[in-house]
Amino acid sequence: MYNAKAYSAVSATSRLASATIPRRDPAEHDVQIEILFCGICHSDLHQVRNEWSGFMPTVYPCVPGHEIVGRVTKVGSAVKKFKPGDLAAVGCLVDSDRTCPECKAGFEQFCANMTLTYNSPDKHTGAVTYGGYSDSIVVDERFVLRVPSNLDLAGAAPLLCAGITTYSPMRHWGVTKGKKVGVVGIGGLGHMAVKIAHALGAHVVAFTTSASKKEDALRLGADEVVVSRNANEMQKHAGSFHFILDAVAAAHDINAYLNLLRRDGNITLVGAPEKPLAVSAFALIFGRRSLSGSPIGGIAETQEMLDFCGKHNITANVEVIPIQKVNEAYERLLKSDVKYRFSIDMASLKSG
């Protein structure tokens, strides 16, 4: 074991602060990565504040962060895919049982025994996993991704969660040219969804509560933007969407969006508000519409998404911050005051 520097929270109400955490020395199949950038996902905030206590209670101290890019510093003797000096990335998963039908099908995100990058039982240490708000991480090479060399690293980090979480359901539901696709909530996930849906060739409509994001959304690749607080603007799109991705982090009226779907249209929730949403049966019945959810993505699909983003030169729009600003960043995230993802420059951890 060795000591790594990190930022952790010791309770649901405490600020994140500098800490030392134990990491395992790289074993045969492990890759040790010096973390260069880590994105701030809204899930980090939900988890740090124990907002998912009924489903995924937080174990403290909690070191969040699952949008990790860095450089390989050491590899185990059996590692084939990476060598010291290579760029590498880690997303929301660091292990799974590898033997269940889901794992065999490449759907590690559905494995009952998956290990999340943070707040999961750690098979190696017996404690809990610690995420990317840290100077280094050690991960089995099967769960380490390659970063296309043309991508800016600070902007590439958010692809590891915001990118794959939006890419995966859009691929599953057949987002392509000729489809009308809505994206609700233009935050970290939503702005990636707009870029990816546009690159997949769809007609993209962005829904935002922030009128100030209108021009930006068009620049990100939306063909149209609707300010969702305006009922008339919403009504113009009634019954017209093939697919809508809902990336809102707070309570909101899902029925207003169900009514915008055409026959057999689908809304997929990727946003995970703390409280249940009320769904009108009639909004589903008329039009045989469906409502579903989707978590992150498997390892092979995450690599496919990174390669797709490399090909289309897609990264997140980021505001790079030093780790010392992380608590302030959380407060701003709650106010949707970031365009559109914070990316922590982990070199700042060296100074405290």
Distance CA 118, CA 95 (A): 11
Angle at 67 between CA 62 and CA 71, to 5 degrees: 105
3-state secondary structure 43-98: HHHHHHCCCCCCCCCCCCCECCCCCEEEEEEEECCCCCCCCCCCEEEECCEEECCC
Smallest distance from the beta carbon of 352 to ligand NAP, in angstroms? 26
Q: Omega of the bond prior to 340 within 30 degrees of 0, cis?
A: yes
For residue 193, give every residue at least 6 positions away whose Cβ sits within 8 Å of its Cβ, in sequence order, or none. Answer: 166, 170, 183, 245, 247
Exactly one of 185, 221, 265, 310 binds ligand NAP (CB under 6 A); that residue is: 185
Smallest distance from the beta carbon of 341 to ligand NAP, in angstroms? 7
Q: Per-residue x/- mask for Zn ion, residues 84 to 123, rule CB under 5 A?
A: ------------xx--x--x-------x------------
The number of beta carbons lying within 10 Å of the beta carbon of residue 1 is 9
The stretch among 41-49, 79-87, 130-138, 300-308 that binds ligand NAP (CB under 6 A) is 41-49
Smallest distance from the beta carbon of 172 to ligand NAP, in angstroms? 13
Smallest distance from the beta carbon of 165 to ligand NAP, in angstroms? 4
Distance CA 189, CA 167 (A): 10
By CB under 6 A, the count of residues binding ligand NAP is: 29
Looking at residues 37 to 56 of the shown chain, list those that interact with Zn ion (rule: CB under 5 A).
Answer: 41, 43
The number of beta carbons lying within 10 Å of the beta carbon of residue 84 is 12
43 is an interface residue for ligand NAP by CB under 6 A? yes
Amino acid of residue 237: H
Looking at residues 138 to 177 of the shown chain, list those that interact with Zn ion (rule: CB under 5 A).
Answer: 161
Exactly one of 333, 344, 346, 349 binds ligand NAP (CB under 6 A); that residue is: 333
42 is an interface residue for ligand NAP by CB under 6 A? yes
244 is an interface residue for ligand NAP by CB under 6 A? no
Closest listed residue to residue 33, CA positions, set 348, 346, 350: 346
In the complex, the residues that contact ligand NAP under the rule CB under 6 A are: 41-43, 46, 161, 165, 185-190, 208-210, 213, 247-250, 252, 270-272, 294-296, 333, 336
